[in-house]
Structure 1
Amino acid sequence: MATLTEDQVRSSADEILGFSAKEPEVQQGTGQITTFNSLGFSGVADKPDGWYLPDNKAMPAIILETKSTLHSLDRQEWVDELKKNVNIVLTKYEICIGILYNHDDIRVFMNNVEVESVSSTLEHKSYYLKLATNKPIDKTRIYTLTQRINNTLHFDFGVKNLYQRMTFTACSLVALREGAWIAPGMDYDNFHNSILNQLNKSLQKHITRNFKLKYLSEQFSKVEMAYGGSQDSIDNFVGWIKEISTLLNSDSWAGEDVMAIFFNEFNRYKPKSEHGQVFTPDHITGFMTRLVGLHEDDYVLDAACGSGAFLVRAMNVMIEKAGGVNSAKATRIKQNQLYGIEKDKEIFALAAANMLIHKDGKTNLEQLDSRDEEAAEWMASKPITKVLMNPPYENKYGGMDIVANVLDSVQRGTICAFILPDKKLEKAGGRKLLKKNRLNKIIKLPENTFWGVGITTSIFIFTAGEPQNGHEIFACNIEDDGLITVKNQGRQDVRNLWPAIEDEWIEIIRKQSGHDSIQWIDPKEHLSWQAPMEPFSITEEDFIKVVMDYELFHRGVDVKKLAADLGDQALYGAFEDGNE
């Protein structure tokens, strides 16, 4: 093979990596005359061979170092040269991928630690960017970090309000994703202003698509700190929040509700949830998308969206079905096919943050009361095809009014799935809904699905605009989901049992057969799954006791006193033996 000069290797690398392409919000290219100073690293005269530098500093950067085919990549001086340039980039970026290349060989480093399991040939830059983001999600670590953040906000900074602690954490994560620069050594004012300024700056782009996201910066500004915290506590918070941000950047994140993780931890200091808010477990949101047959062309509504759990899950499911996050359809899904309503401003801000954390700022969120006419008109104006909801349970928050307004507002034939307390439809006038809508299925969820809430629930699946007309309702009971309670972390699928359980139940419900719990319910009689009545039985001993008590009563004998004197065994035992 002919020998290639360094210039030829660099030119080849530029073409393979795609560094010469023009992309918005990215500096990229190759050469020998461009200094780091001209790339935004003030006062640094060193010159990289190739660079990929996103404007968003939370995203990975790439630095290329090329050599001619005559130079072996085993030489430490070439590695040191690459690491020096990577360290320059790491003064502004969280992650920098270093590539050492001579056309015949390649070495790849992640934050100056060599990556062993990589392609032996140079690949397009997207391959290396995925190395940085496609990491398995370590939920246990996220819980640990969240616990530390909660404690420091609560005790070191004096943030007493649960939702303000969540808001402060979520807004910090959003700002980091948008490119905020925070570092140990900052005082509190500088740290706070860096987060707020990035929110205000970055959200200007999103406001044109969804101006309600301004609530993020508004709610962040309202967080009340009793005291500023020590430098150690500030530095700890910075380190922990940056680590969580890195974990959440993983492409393996498939719609799990980040806010639910925060809530499970932060809520340890509260006896019960506020605002009637109940966070839907991840495995249930995924289960419900399968129950309603969600596909990439659906338009999804959650009119009590809370933290956005259903919208996040639906977004990820639809994008996966459409071909992945880089497909043209993915952008349309985010912009046009997800709709959410939340009344409470604090919770609305968390929903906005949740969508942004999950790489989306375009979902149509509205801060409205889902019970009123304005919300009804807004819902009716959207081409909704599927509804996924977990409305408030307590009567004072109008959960049933929300359900009724949704069913009245969406188009005829829309499939609507609601999580409600088991007996809610029977106790709160649910039969009125059946005059215009058909209840097709009731799936009773395990007793402890909503850990710590103390309410048993079912999934109720309606077809809007089609009267019940006496049609029987399919019902079944999922007694166990395989999850167990982990201290301070809620219920988790630590044994990985749920995927198989979910598949089994999806098939049972599809076939409407194959399980002993299946019932066909007459809507005139019940609107919930009915626990089978235990067959009546009585033991001989019980029968004898009843007869003996009745006989003693007629004779005027004080049974309690007599039993105390003789003892139950002596009294009833004598009767059993035929003695009086």
Structure 2
Amino acid sequence: MDRVTIINTIGKKFQTQNIENGEYSYVQEAGGKEELVKALGREPLHVYVDIRFEYDDLVLLVETKQRFTKKDEKQLAEYVEIEKVLHYGKKIVAMLANTNNDKIKVWQTEVDDNHLLHNETVVDKITHYVKLFDVSKQNDREKVLKNTYDLNELLHKLDIDESKRSQFVGTNLLYIKDLVNKLGATRIDEDVLKSLNQQWSFLTESQIIEGVKSTLSNLLDGSENKTKKIELLQNNVLNDQKVKKLKKNDWIKILDTILMDIYRYIDADSSEGQDILNLFFIAFNKYTGKADKNQAFTPDHITDFMCRLVGVDRDKIVLDATCGSGSFLVQAMVKELADCRRGKTDEESVKLMKLVKEKHIYGIEIEEKAYGLATTNMLIHGDGNSNIKFGSCFDCKDFITNADPDIILMNPPYNAKPKGIPATYKTNWTKNEKNGTKDPTKGLVFIKYISDVIAEMNKEREKNNCPRKHVKMAVLLPVAAAIGTGTRIKEIKTQMLEENTLEAVFTLPDEIFYPGASACACCMVFTLGKPHRKSDGTIDETFFGYYKDDGFRKKKNLGRVEQFDIHGNSKWKEIEENWLKMYHNKKEIEGLTAMAEISGDDEWLCEAYMKTDYSILSEESFQQTINNYLSYLVKEGKVYES
């Protein structure tokens, strides 16, 4: 990038030059060489910085080179040192910029590895660099998670039903965010707390409730099915008798806690803040979902892994046709918003993020409580439209077609009632299967339906002389669906391979949904619209991963908890990188991965194909495997306890 473009982009009016050619001399600024040496305590090697900007208490130093090297960092570091001596107390950002390409390196306060800003890859307006020092909010993951537990305890003492706490907290958080924005507060401190408490002191309990409702109504303007969403909010949360019994002091205590112990430690405008918001909502679901063993809230680290498997980025439209509380959609949106910042200026990022929020995230949910949670969850993350459809995915073909997804992420019901499944998928079912209480396909019928919708979309594309679209799908299904001993399961597995490619199957850790559902799950990855058997008759091998150890451990009242090494590093992060590397490189590793050609009649699990190193087996692990298998047989009704 040439010098003139750099100056104009950052802001010419903020450039401070005190010698010819637009440079800045520290000798001139100090009043002479002797004065500079005296102030610095030594004779400097470099005294002329290429471009210097100043905005209030911020100084931005830019040194341009044709192609900068490590040696140039030492030169820039000396300029920062001189700045601190001559302009004590100024906030400093230092930049190296190539003139023969757009590559830059940016440091905050010091020029060393610890202060390098890895995400700063493009030259931006000076106001962007001012925001780097904005401490109005701070992200503190540990405090948020600890305070989430304390908040749940408070709601328990105030007798708010467990099943309603998650959405109750979510809607109140939205109410607080709106009030803070209206105050124009740049930071959350005791003054903000005092101001809001004063407002609430003049309101009745019913007026506070009405304020929450009004906030949600405004946020949902232009949203799909706004009336239904408000109605559910009223019925499920605000009209609850225990919520109505809360006294004003109770309300103020709850709102104060959310404000000062949760929202205060989340900068929702940052990628990390979005991630913490997600953890907060998921943590609350953990506390409130223990009673329903049929609920399967997908763990955050698994949604992260699946998003990375299928390559979620700012250019992709994502659909979850059985979205539950919206965990996949939120994870996808967080990833897309983070990608919007990559290599873009603030102004460019804002436009991209608006597009992502309004046009890239789509969900469908039939269960009312989960639908309300998904809507609230998306709004908390700043979703601009909340494209969540209420109803059965089987009735939403037009919605799916109009969304035109690039990626499908799903965790469909494993035991859906057959009466809710369209007749076209039950033509070969027995009378008992049709009238039964559980889906004999173990959730496979949902992915077959999505596959059929994509197939119809591709037929229309071909009619219009457009190329077929390949859609990536990552789906969580019970291990029973992969083993495929049932007739209905084998039928759908065979049908799926006629139109789609099975790219991979990952056996996931036991009790992955603990403390909710108890099902053992696997993750299947398909490319929809690309037949498994190629036109020349050949078949690519499918990758299988035995991904049973994710570094998490069960902990009472908290579910499965992330573990850290002695240095405080996440074990999961290292494991996830290894999982992805093995998949992308298609590595066959004894006891972990395998490659195999498969058909619909085969087992779709790594255990059927991988080589095992029997030398590492112990009597204890053998007994545990037997116990697990026996437990599975009892659960499936193939063996009965006596």
The answer to whether the superposition gives a TM-score over 0.5 is yes
Tell me the alpha carbon deviations over residues 119-169 of structure 1, each in whole angstroms, 9 at most, x when there is no partner: 69xx7387358633663332x43343333333333442x333x33222211
Is the CA contact (8 Å cut-off) linking 2:138 and 2:266 kept in structure 1?
no
The match for 1:263 is 285
Is the CA contact (8 Å cut-off) linking 2:324 and 2:365 kept in structure 1?
yes
The match for 1:203 is 217
Distance in 1 of aligned mates of 2:367 and 2:550: 31
Is the CA contact (8 Å cut-off) linking 1:143 and 1:489 kept in structure 2?
no
What is the DSSP-based 3-state SS (H/G/I as helix, E as strand, rest coil) of the residue aligned with 2:412? coil
Shift in CA distance, 107/203, structure 1 to aligned 2, threshold 3 Å: farther
Shift in CA distance, 236/439, structure 1 to aligned 2, threshold 3 Å: same
Residue 369 of structure 1 and its aligned partner are, at CA, apart by 0.7
Distance in 2 of aligned mates of 1:188 and 1:521: 70
Is the CA contact (8 Å cut-off) linking 1:184 and 1:239 kept in structure 2?
no
Is the CA contact (8 Å cut-off) linking 1:212 and 1:367 kept in structure 2?
no
Is the CA contact (8 Å cut-off) linking 1:213 and 1:352 kept in structure 2?
no
The match for 1:467 is 531
Residue 437 of structure 1 and its aligned partner are, at CA, apart by 2.6
Shift in CA distance, 382/267, structure 1 to aligned 2, threshold 3 Å: closer
Tell me the alpha carbon deviations over residues 168-193 of structure 1, each in whole angstroms, 9 at most, x when there is no partner: 11110111112278538957973553
Structure-to-structure mapping, 1:2-17, within 5 angstroms: none
Distance in 1 of aligned mates of 2:410 and 2:202: 39
Is the CA contact (8 Å cut-off) linking 2:298 and 2:513 kept in structure 1?
yes
Tell me the alpha carbon deviations over residues 531-557 of structure 1, each in whole angstroms, 9 at most, x when there is no partner: 579999xxxxxxxxxxxxxxxxxxxxx
Residue 313 of structure 1 and its aligned partner are, at CA, apart by 1.4
Does residue 1:414 correspond to 2:471, yes or no? yes
Is the CA contact (8 Å cut-off) linking 1:159 and 1:223 kept in structure 2?
no
What amino acid does structure 1 have at the position aligned with 2:526?
A: F
Distance in 1 of aligned mates of 2:340 and 2:146: 34
Distance in 1 of aligned mates of 2:365 and 2:203: 31
Greater helix fraction, Structure 1 or Structure 2: 2
Residue 318 of structure 1 and its aligned partner are, at CA, apart by 1.8
Show structure 2 runs of 5+ residues with no match. Answer: 1-12, 15-54, 58-85, 92-107, 111-125, 181-194, 421-438, 458-468, 565-569, 615-642
Q: 1:225 aligns with which of 234, 242, 245?
A: 242
Range with greater deviation from structure 2 (521-530 or 288-297): 521-530
Does residue 1:526 correspond to 2:583, yes or no? no
Is the CA contact (8 Å cut-off) linking 2:299 and 2:513 kept in structure 1?
yes
Q: 1:510 aligns with which of 575, 584, 609?
A: 584
Distance in 2 of aligned mates of 1:145 and 1:192: 27
What amino acid does structure 2 have at the position aligned with 1:445?
A: L
Tell me the alpha carbon deviations over residues 350-401 of structure 1, each in whole angstroms, 9 at most, x when there is no partner: 11111121122324221121123xx122102222111111112223386333
Which has the larger Rg?
1
The match for 2:267 is 249
What amino acid does structure 2 have at the position aligned with 1:467?
A: P
Tell me the alpha carbon deviations over residues 387-443 of structure 1, each in whole angstroms, 9 at most, x when there is no partner: 111112223386333222222223542111101111224145232333333222101
Distance in 2 of aligned mates of 1:230 and 1:146: 22
Distance in 2 of aligned mates of 1:259 and 1:213: 24
What amino acid does structure 1 have at the position aligned with 2:355?
A: R
Distance in 2 of aligned mates of 1:448 and 1:190: 46
What amino acid does structure 2 have at the position aligned with 1:193?
A: Q
What is the DSSP-based 3-state SS (H/G/I as helix, E as strand, rest coil) of the residue aligned with 2:607? coil
Q: 1:365 aligns with which of 388, 392, 395?
A: 388
TM-score between the two structures when normalised by the length of structure 1 = 0.64
Distance in 2 of aligned mates of 1:202 and 1:525: 50
Distance in 1 of aligned mates of 2:476 and 2:202: 42
The match for 1:168 is 168
Distance in 2 of aligned mates of 1:362 and 1:221: 22
Is the CA contact (8 Å cut-off) linking 2:219 and 2:379 kept in structure 1?
no
The match for 1:178 is 178
The match for 2:398 is 377
Distance in 2 of aligned mates of 1:202 and 1:166: 15
Range with greater deviation from structure 2 (222-231 or 352-361): 222-231
The match for 1:309 is 327
How many residue pairs get aligned? The number is: 423
Shift in CA distance, 133/448, structure 1 to aligned 2, threshold 3 Å: farther
What amino acid does structure 2 have at the position aligned with 1:455?
A: A
What is the DSSP-based 3-state SS (H/G/I as helix, E as strand, rest coil) of the residue aligned with 1:311? helix
Distance in 2 of aligned mates of 1:435 and 1:486: 43
The match for 1:492 is 561
Is the CA contact (8 Å cut-off) linking 1:388 and 1:416 kept in structure 2?
yes
Does residue 1:337 correspond to 2:360, yes or no? yes
Does residue 1:144 correspond to 2:146, yes or no? yes
What amino acid does structure 2 have at the position aligned with 1:360?
A: D
Does residue 1:159 correspond to 2:222, yes or no? no
Shift in CA distance, 494/333, structure 1 to aligned 2, threshold 3 Å: same
Is the CA contact (8 Å cut-off) linking 1:257 and 1:309 kept in structure 2?
no
The match for 1:554 is none
Does residue 1:287 correspond to 2:299, yes or no? no
Distance in 2 of aligned mates of 1:294 and 1:492: 25
TM-score between the two structures when normalised by the length of structure 2 = 0.59
Distance in 1 of aligned mates of 2:380 and 2:243: 27
What is the DSSP-based 3-state SS (H/G/I as helix, E as strand, rest coil) of the residue aligned with 2:304? helix
Tell me the alpha carbon deviations over residues 432-456 of structure 1, each in whole angstroms, 9 at most, x when there is no partner: 3333332221011122322223221
What amino acid does structure 2 have at the position aligned with 1:175?
A: Y
What is the DSSP-based 3-state SS (H/G/I as helix, E as strand, rest coil) of the residue aligned with 1:371? helix
Is the CA contact (8 Å cut-off) linking 2:138 and 2:264 kept in structure 1?
no
Does residue 1:193 correspond to 2:207, yes or no? yes
What amino acid does structure 2 have at the position aligned with 1:283?
A: H
Distance in 2 of aligned mates of 1:339 and 1:260: 19
What amino acid does structure 2 have at the position aligned with 1:267?
A: G
The match for 1:550 is none
Does residue 1:278 correspond to 2:278, yes or no? no
Q: 2:518 aligns with which of 454, 471, 474?
A: 454
Is the CA contact (8 Å cut-off) linking 1:389 and 1:419 kept in structure 2?
yes
Q: 2:337 aligns with which of 295, 313, 319?
A: 319
Distance in 2 of aligned mates of 1:213 and 1:507: 46
Range with greater deviation from structure 2 (325-334 or 472-481): 325-334
The match for 2:430 is none
Shift in CA distance, 193/144, structure 1 to aligned 2, threshold 3 Å: farther
What amino acid does structure 2 have at the position aligned with 1:480?
A: D
Shift in CA distance, 200/185, structure 1 to aligned 2, threshold 3 Å: closer
What amino acid does structure 1 have at the position aligned with 2:273?
A: W
What is the DSSP-based 3-state SS (H/G/I as helix, E as strand, rest coil) of the residue aligned with 1:438? strand
Tell me the alpha carbon deviations over residues 508-529 of structure 1, each in whole angstroms, 9 at most, x when there is no partner: 1011114223232522322333
Shift in CA distance, 214/246, structure 1 to aligned 2, threshold 3 Å: farther
What is the DSSP-based 3-state SS (H/G/I as helix, E as strand, rest coil) of the residue aligned with 2:526? strand
